[in-house]
Each structure stands twice: as C-alpha cells, then as structure tokens.
Structure 1
C-alpha cells in the first residue's frame, strides 16, 4: 500500500499517521459536512417553528450547557458530583443581581461563571481527597448548604419570596422575544462546546482522561492529581454558572426551591443516559430530559387514574430509565448511536458478535 498522510478503510476507520490528526476538531470531512448541515438547520429553525417550540429549544440549549459542565467533571475527569445545582444557582442569582443593578449582560454572565468557578475550587480543596460515594456525599452536602444560603441571604436572593429576573439586554437591544433569546442561547452553547473541545485536546484534557482511567497510572506519569482535579471542578462550575445565568432569564423568577438536590440528580441522569465521556452524550441527554416530561404528561392521559394521577410517576419513570440504561446500554444514547452507525456502515457484511456486550471491570477490579 502506498504511504499517505491519511489512510482509511471502507468503514471510515482512520489510521492516523500525523499528530495533527489526533488533535483535529473533526475526525474526517464527512463530520464537517454533517455538523455544518446541523448548524444551518438550527440557525434557520426560527423561520419555521412557532415561538413555543423555540422556547423548548432554548431550554434544550441551556440543559445541554449544564450537561456539558457535568460531563467535563464526571465524564472526562471521572469525579462524580451530586451538587451541581449549587453552581447553577450561584451563577443564576449573581447574574440576576448584577443585571438588576445595571451591569451589562456579558460581564454579568461572566462574573456569575467566575464566582461559580471559585465556589468549585472551594469545594474541590477538601473533596479531591475523597473518591466514589464519599465524593458524591460531599458534593451533596455542599449543595444543601448553598440551598440554605439562598433561602437566608435575602438581600441578594430575596429568600423564599424569590426575585424577578429582568429581560436580557445585549448591546442595548432588549431580547424580549423567543427568537432573540434562542439565538443567544445557541451562540453561547456553541462557544462553550468549542472551548471544551479545544481544552480536551490539550494536555489538560488528556490529563483529565488519564486520571479518570487510572489515578495511579496518571500519577506515575507525573500528572499532578490535586491540581488537575481542582481545575476540573473550576471549569465545570464555570460552565454551570453560565448555564445558570441563561436559566435565570428563561424562567424569569428565582426561588431556592428550584436549586435542590433533585436538580443535581437530574443532571447526573442527563450525562448517564446521554453517555459518559462524550460531548454528544450531553446533547442527547438534554434532548431526553426535555422530551421526557412532555411524554409523561401525554402518557398520564392514557393510564388508569390510580397510576396516572400519582405525583411520584415522573421520578419513578426517571429512575426506571436510569436503571435500564445502566443494565442494557452503559454507554447511553451516544453508545447506541455509535452502534447504529457502525451497523449501517458494515451492512450487510456485519458480524453479530461485534454487538455483543463485553464484560467491563470496576477500577478496583483492574488493579487485582
């Protein structure tokens, strides 16, 4: 076979021969085409969709950004968190407070993200000494403390009375329509995704993945575990704070009851169902989280009253879906998507054994 810079087989398996190929944003020209087509579709969506559906898409973008924040921490750095509602709340309340006091939108949003990042560093200092369940409990405790602060610090948060959030004003233009806010959320999401993609292909991102796979191996290669874990917490909290600022404008009124551990569990379910270790997984998980309440509301009309009127129906379905994903498809919706792509790329010459689940090992089992 004649040497070439980029060799592929028929199924588009890329044989990398240059380092640049390993850090490209897009693995092949086909990905550029499809992502460009997707970008054109979302940019043109306001010309074809009603305001209600644009509002739902705005929620999808905000949830995607929140899921991206947790994906950085849990999916790439391997650190579990059940306290991300606190970071979202810090960004939301601070952004609302600064906006009400005359600070422009972009600086206010960035301040909310930076203060959330500082909160992430504060919780990371003691939390990085813990692992697994203990780390989850520590972040959950932090979330409970922050929720109590939201309820008591009435000068900033309004306490249990809540606080109204003004309409976003960008460069002197008030975004009082769903179309303007839709484009704002889309632009911020795209910028954050590109930022995370560039971070993941840098030495920092590679260090996070090494820590996730094996802390002992990462440390043996000279990776400073405490520093990179703290940076992962700060980056994740910053993105969550930015998502919180957009979330505040979307709902229009903030109360402490919004930022409970239930919100953190929903975010954790988002990344688990979407697929850990994949930015696509954050998007898939957000789609699932936005569509499922609507589907449950439709399902209530067809269920017997004894079941359909149960207030615990929605959490029960969430839990059932999460259990099924863990048992049947641990890689989530992104893993299922990759399998479907691979199936059609080899059809009709595929091998059924290719799709059999392989045994996976816990980190403690790998060390035996």
Structure 2
C-alpha cells in the first residue's frame, strides 16, 4: 500500500498525488487518444455515449453524492440543454455560444427549481423533481416552435473554427476534451470551501448550520451547478444523435442517471465513469444474454428493468460503495496481501447502514 509523506502544503492542493497516478493517467490518456484508430465504429459510438453520460454523472453526483439531494428530474435539464443547443446551432450560432446559452438556461432553471425545493428533502424532494421532469417533458411536446414537437428536431454537427465533428472518431475528441475540462472543474470544486460545505450539508444539515454554513444558499448553488453540468451533457447528446425528440428525455432517463451514480459509487469521481460504463454496456449484454435464456424468459416484457432492479438491490444491500468501492477493496487486497482482513472496510459499511436508517 502506498503511503504519501507530505513535506509541503503544495502537496495538499496537487490534483495528482504521486508519480504512480501521473503514470497511469498518462497511459489512460494515450489509450483514449488512439481509440478511434483501434476501435470499431460501433464501440466508438458506445464510448461517446459513455462520455456524455459521465458529464451528466458529474451533475448528479454533486447533487446526490456530495450534497445529499435526491433528484429524479435531471432528464429535464438534459433535454433542455439538448434542445437549446440544437435550436441555436441550427440558427447559425457558433458552438461555444450555443453551449454557453445551454448552460445559462439550465443554471437559471436549476435555481428556480431549488427555491421551492428548499422546503422539502429526501424522498419528498425526489417526488418534487419527478414532477418537474413530467412537466418539462410535456412542455417539450407542446412547444412545437422550439422543439418541433413529436416530429423531432434535426441537429447540425458540431463545428469549431471550421472543423466539423461529423464522425464518431472526430466527435470523440470533442466530447473527450469537454469531459477532461469537466473533471478538472469538479475536482477543484469539491476541494474548495463550496465543496466542503456540500459535504457538511450531506452529512448533517444541523451541524452545518451550527458551523455557520448557509444551508439554503449552498443547496441552491448545488442545484445550479448540477443543472449546468447536465445541460452540457444534453448539448453534447444533441450533436451525438443529430436528431432529438421529446421521447428521448423521459422519466426512465432520470432513473438511469440516479442508478448510474449509485452503482458507480456515491461521492466518487471514478465511480461516475464506472456507472456510465455499466449503464451503457448492460443493454447489449442483456441482449446477448437472451440467447442463453429459455424462450419464455427471453421474450418476457421488462426483462432489462428486472435485471436493473435486482442489480440495484444487490448493490444497496451488499456493496453500498458501488463499483468503485469494490475496486478499492480488490486493489487494497493485492496491495497488502496477505495482511488483508474483511473487517478493514467495516467502518465504511457501518456508516452506510446508519445513513440508510436516518
């Protein structure tokens, strides 16, 4: 196991903690840079949607994982970002101008939703945001001058300084750059005073108030930041699909976002990517699994939802730290073998149990 001996205050603010991290992240960046040359068109499309979902994961994780605010309405922010980007790009706006407007509109909507949401929390907040998602979905259908209603809206490919990102390989570099920037922004946000305030509110609102943290203000900020990240994901999604309609942004999409963060690992940057990979890769795996199942099971309606539900229950009961938590345990096992003991992570498990009983 690696122990870091700090000799200066600069080490506390470094994003990369040691040379091992720098090496492996460099290897990861190199592999990603070569992906369009090594991977088929189908898997490039899967990687692109994983990166787009990761952008939404940043927003969902900030709100749920770090501030403790449950939301089932992020498909509304996602769809709004997509339609704003599509509409103004089609009007001839530059890519970054339309993207900035998508972020701004989502931040404003996030603030407006946060104000009444301050009076509720927990499952009641989830129900309130669920109502938001249903309302916005209906607005998308009825506002035909903006969204073209159920007929859908064609989207021009992203274009920056004359470079058109109209293939899976070229679009990959664009969305990868956006994800890298979003990752750095999130890391810096979470280690700032604002991020520490989010964590304090998640752990105990009463304790946070007693320490002088304005709970209401930081909840609004969390909603605004979360909506902004989700809007960026929606904007990239519009350019990825090149054709969007209100049907793309329904309630089940919001559930996927929450599921992605929980399964990946709450309050974990790495867990966002693990969760996104899980959500995107599972449908093809389930489709292949149908060939191995009896006919009556393979043709049963809702098979995918049943499998998702079983997996979610298993994670909540047996691995509350998600896929990233399981990876940490496996890594620790090999690092300190043969001195690993099952009780090493009991403290984290007991915290999760007490947290579920609140």
TM interval, shorter chain, is over 0.9
CA contact (8 A) 1:124 1:230 kept: yes
Q: Tell me if 1:135 matches 2:125.
A: yes
Matching residue of 1:213 = 203
Q: Partners in 2 of 1:352 and 1:323 — Cα distance?
A: 22
Structure-2 separation of matches of 1:46 and 1:257: 30
| Residue of structure 2 equivalent to 1:35 | 25
Deviates more, 1:236-245 or 1:28-37: 28-37
Counterparts of 1:1-368 in structure 2, within 5 Å, are 11-14=1-4, 16=6, 18-356=8-346, 358-360=349-351, 361-362=353-354
Partners in 2 of 1:231 and 1:16 — Cα distance?
A: 33
Displacement of 1:22 in angstroms is 3.1
CA deviation after TM superposition for structure 1 residue 21, in Å? 3.1
Most deviating of 228-237 and 30-39: 30-39
**Deviation for aligned residue 1:23:** 2.8
Change (3 A) 1:76 1:16: farther
**CA 1:307–1:69 in 2, change beyond 3 Å: closer, same or farther?**
same
By how many angstroms is 1:349 displaced? 2.4
What per-residue deviation string (whole Å, max 9, x for no partner) do you get for residues 9-45 of structure 1?
xx22335565433332122221111111111110111
Between 305-314 and 98-107, the greater mean CA deviation after superposition = 305-314
Give 3-state SS (helix, strand or coil) of 2:136's partner: helix
Q: Distance in 1 between matches of 2:147 and 2:163?
A: 26
**1:118 touches 1:234 (CA, 8 Å); kept in 2?**
yes
The CA distance in 2 between the partners of 1:320 and 1:166, in whole Å, is 40
**Larger displacement relative to structure 2 (270-279 or 219-228):** 219-228
Deviation at residue 215 of structure 1 after TM alignment? 0.8
Distance 1:21 1:75 in 2: 25
Does the 8 Å contact 1:214/1:363 carry over to 2? no
Structure 2 CA distance for aligned equivalents of residues 140 and 156 of structure 1:
23
Matched residues in 2 for 1:269 and 1:218: separation? Answer: 27
What's the CA shift for 1:55?
1.3
Which deviates more, 94-103 or 305-314? 305-314
Q: Secondary structure at the match of 2:266?
A: coil
Cα shift at 1:311:
2.6
Task: Find the aligned partners of 1:166 and 1:351 in 2 and give their Cα distance.
Answer: 55
Using the alignment, how far apart are the partners of 1:241 and 1:131 within structure 2?
23
Name the SS of the counterpart of 2:350 in structure 1: coil
Secondary structure of the residue aligned to 1:169 is: strand
Q: Per-residue deviation at 1:244?
A: 0.2
Q: What is the TM-score with the length of structure 1 in the denominator?
A: 0.93
Q: Deviations over 1:307-364 (max 9, x none)?
A: 1112300111111111111011000001001101111110122234325574234459
Give aligned pairs, total. Answer: 356
**RMSD, aligned α-carbons:** 1.6
84-93 or 242-251, larger mean C-alpha shift: 242-251
